[in-house]
Structure 1
Amino acid sequence: MWAKTVASIHVQNASPRLAHWTWAPARQIRTNLRPGTGRSTDVGRRDVTAEAAHQLYGPWEDHIDSWIELQRWLNDVTEGYPGLQLVWRGARRAEWGMTNSLYRALQDVLKAAPTEDDMVLAEANTLKLARREWRFDHLAALELMAHLQHLGGPTRLLDVSVNPLIATWFAVERNEADDRFDGRLFAFSVDRRIELAPEHNGRFPRWHTYRTESTRRQRRWGTGDGRRLWLPPAYNTRISAQNSAFVLDGVPSADATPPRLQTGASEKWDAQTLRSVSSYNFRPSSRHGTRTASPVFTARVSKSCKQEIRRAIEDRYGYNAASLYSDLGGLATYVARRPEVLLDRSKTT
């Protein structure tokens, strides 16, 4: 299967300044930002992200309106690009940005998009807290991050699955607040795999040694051209159950090539707008045009077909809340969110 598809704090001394950017500004969207700060006013960051996400994804996205169309899209992507290694991510809302949890946490603290230096500082402080205060001195950096990710802590790790049906289930997962919104699927191409050899199994992440922009550019860190994939050991049951993997990359580099505004256009996104919606410099690609380097494909899943697709995946393939959240925490969350199932008499027969 891998040959065809590999199928989703407290910060000390962090500076709220945005990094200097050299990309030429493109068409501006109405983000209600104070000029030059990247800080949201009364509209709020989530509204800014939603509008920016619509403009980033819209020109490139395919549309899925049924279970049949989902199967066709998955086949087209996997069969049409047999040389690519792909991983998959589902989002319950099509408008959500492509950001990892650490990036979002720092945005809330800084009221601005964090730089790569901010991310590294936050990771270093997390490791210091874990080892000096919580006494997890025996854990390597990546293993510690994987555990934190599982428990809801902020990390740079972006959850994906090697299984496209599992990623799709997360995009259509039952949630009353999100069922009235379209969902989204991503297929990422990945360029490198991280192995837990000495290079990546130390006390600090390998990318903490990339201290300058020139080194990061040389290592293809934050450029969008060197996306890393880590298939972690089964530290917990959910990693195996969800066919989990993690995508890692740096904050978009000032020297990186930003995504185009639309298919066939030469005009580029400006950096500030891109970083309001994404912690990675990913360049969407159309299945019907010239393919970009390290492409990312995306499809909007209509809210009208979420239930149909969810039922098909659960009934035909056995992926559901019990199999994917396969621990006591998953059960506790399930019954807390859906107490009505506790009064379903069919469950007792």
Structure 2
Amino acid sequence: MTIRMQELAEEVLRGVQQGSDRTGVVHVWRGQGDTAWPLYPGIYRRLLAIKSAAEVTEELVRKYEIDMLCEANGFGYYTRGRLPTLVRVQHYGGATRFLDVTRDPLTALWFATDPALTSKDGAVYHFQVPLECLLAEGTMDTLDEVDEIAQREGAALLFPKPDEERVAAQRAGFLVPSIGETLAATAPFAKGAYGFDVSKVVVPGETKATLRRHLETSAGISARSLFPGVAGYAMAQSVGEPFARGEDELHDGSYGIFPGRGAPRVP
């Protein structure tokens, strides 16, 4: 690693961890693998594939959300109400109006160093959210309560009960924005009377591998720690991830870790 690369990586680390000492607000972060991506929840991006930004309204978002909830109910995936169902859909990769955030800036940095996007600069966003936007922590409020705050303040912030292991592992929360007239006329997170203080640290693509290694070795942050169980293990074996061992260190079954050919079946 060159001295320049080391300096760039250290600069990113300093930037990501600065500014969290302000009181009277809730600090959350979000990492994105491409700095060009807008701060849009998944359902906004999904709608923009079929509509212009001038056609995307809060009413349209709600219509598609209700349709998704009805379909989920038909398949037997509706769980304990609208809000818990949307939280679950979001955590499994569905496009909702929730934007994933975390209380941990280093977790956000891990997501910004996506190895599949090393040709792109990433970004870590730091949100300083007014307390008026926060729902009671650790409770599963109703979607109506979320919407009431989002309409009044521009966005709501909630931290769901850690029913899923990954919620606790990622210290996860959600920002739920509200569209004003149209998406074209409204910048999410900037509508309310109090406003959101949002800052961005750019993560140069050339530093992603260095930073990812630092997070894994020094902070213990990895796919397996953030996604407990087989989901994290599978992510650690994905195309963009480096192999855990060199060719001369590969397991071959002779150490008793894995059964070899002819080994008795485990009942």
**Displaced runs of 4+ in structure 1, greater than 6 A?**
196-199
Query: 2:107 matched to 1:179?
Result: no
Asked if 1:249 is matched to 2:177, the reply is yes
Query: 1:134-170 CA distances to partner (integer Å, 9 max, x unpaired)?
Result: 2345521111011111222211110011100000111
Shift, 1:187, TM fit: 0.5
C-alpha contact (below 8 Å) 1:282/1:296 kept by paired residues: no
Percent identical residues: 23
1:88–1:188 contact (8 Å) kept in structure 2: yes
Moved more, 328-337 or 112-121: 328-337
The corresponding residue for 1:102 is 43
Q: How does 1:11-30 map onto structure 2 within 5 Å?
A: none
Once residues 96 and 72 of structure 1 are traced to their aligned partners in structure 2, the CA distance between those partners, rounded to angstroms, is 23
Cα distance change on mapping 1:98 and 1:237 into 2, 3 Å: same
Taking a change above 3 Å as real, the CA distance of residues 306 and 197 of structure 1, as seen in their structure-2 partners, is closer
Out of 190, 203, 226, the position equivalent to 1:282 is 190
Q: Does the C-alpha gap of structure 1 residues 334 and 111 become closer, same or farther in structure 2, counting only changes over 3 Å?
A: farther
Question: Is contact 1:66-1:308 (8 Å) kept?
Answer: no
Per-residue CA deviation, residues 113-135 of structure 1 (Å, 9 max, x unaligned), is 5110001111111222222x123
The residue that corresponds to 2:84 in the other structure is: 143
Which TM-score applies when normalising by structure 1? 0.61
Report the counterpart of residue 161 of structure 2 in structure 1: 233
Given the alignment of the two structures, is residue 85 of structure 1 paired with residue 26 of structure 2, yes or no? yes
Return the letter of the residue paired with 1:189.
Q
- Corresponding letter in the other structure for 1:241: A
TM-score (norm 2): 0.77
Q: 8 Å contact 2:101–2:172 — kept in the other structure?
A: yes
Listed one character per residue, the Cα deviations across residues 180-207 of structure 1 (whole Å, up to 9, x for unaligned) are 1111110012222223899933xx5446
For the residues of structure 2 that align with 1:124 and 1:168, how far apart are their CA atoms? 33
In the other structure, the counterpart of 1:114 is: 56
Q: Residue type of the partner of 1:155? A: T
Map 1:148-163 → 2, pairs under 5 A: 148-163=89-104
CA contact (8 A) 1:238 1:327 kept: no
Q: Is the 8 A contact 1:172 1:183 kept in 2?
A: yes
Whether the 8 Å CA contact 1:322–1:330 is kept in 2: the answer is yes
Report what 1:168 is aligned to.
Answer: 109
How many residues matched?
241
- What 5-or-longer segments of structure 1 have no aligned partner? 1-63, 211-218, 256-270, 284-291
1:110 is paired with a residue of what secondary structure? coil
Does 1:302 find its partner at 2:196? no
Conservation of the 8 A alpha-carbon contact between 1:322 and 1:331: yes
Q: Secondary structure at the match of 2:39?
A: coil
Amino acid at match of 1:314: E
Distance 1:340 1:198 in 2: 39
Cα distance change on mapping 1:101 and 1:173 into 2, 3 Å: same
CA-atom RMSD, angstroms? 3.1
- How many angstroms apart in 2 are the aligned matches of 1:82 and 1:229? 17
Read off the aligned partner of 2:141 and give its amino acid letter.
H
1:326 aligns with 2:228: yes
Distance, in Å, in 2 between the alignment partners of 1:312 and 1:195 is 35
> 3-state SS of the aligned residue for 1:337?
coil
Query: Once the 2 structures are TM-superposed, how far is the Cα of residue 250 of structure 1 from its aligned partner?
Result: 0.8
Give the aligned partner of residue 263 of structure 2.
Answer: none
Task: Give, in whole Å, the separation in 2 of the partners of 1:164 and 1:158.
Answer: 16
For residues 46 and 154 of structure 2, the distance between their equivalents in structure 1, rounded to whole angstroms, comes to 24
- Asked if 1 retains the 8 angstrom alpha-carbon contact of 2:78 and 2:85, the reply is no
Amino acid at match of 2:61: M
Equivalent residues of 1:67, 1:312 under 8 A apart: no
Provide closer, same or farther for how the CA distance between residues 170 and 220 of structure 1 changes in structure 2, counting only shifts above 3 A: closer
Deviation at 1:72, TM superposition (A): 2.7
| Cα gap change, 1:293 to 1:250, in 2 (>3 Å) | closer
User: Taking structure 1 as reference, are residues 114 and 65 closer, same or farther at Cα in structure 2, changes over 3 Å only?
Assistant: farther
Q: Distance in 1 between matches of 2:240 and 2:150?
A: 45
- Cα 1:127–1:108 change in 2 (3 A) is same
The AA in structure 2 aligned to 1:116 is E
Specify whether residues 118 and 306 from structure 1 end up closer, same or farther in structure 2 by C-alpha distance, changes over 3 A only: same
Counterpart amino acid of residue 306 in structure 1: K
How far 1:340 sits from its partner (Å)? 6.9
State how far apart, in whole Å, the 1-side matches of 2:138 and 2:102 are: 22
Deviation of 1:309 after TM superposition, in Å, equals 1.7
One-letter code of the match for 2:174? F
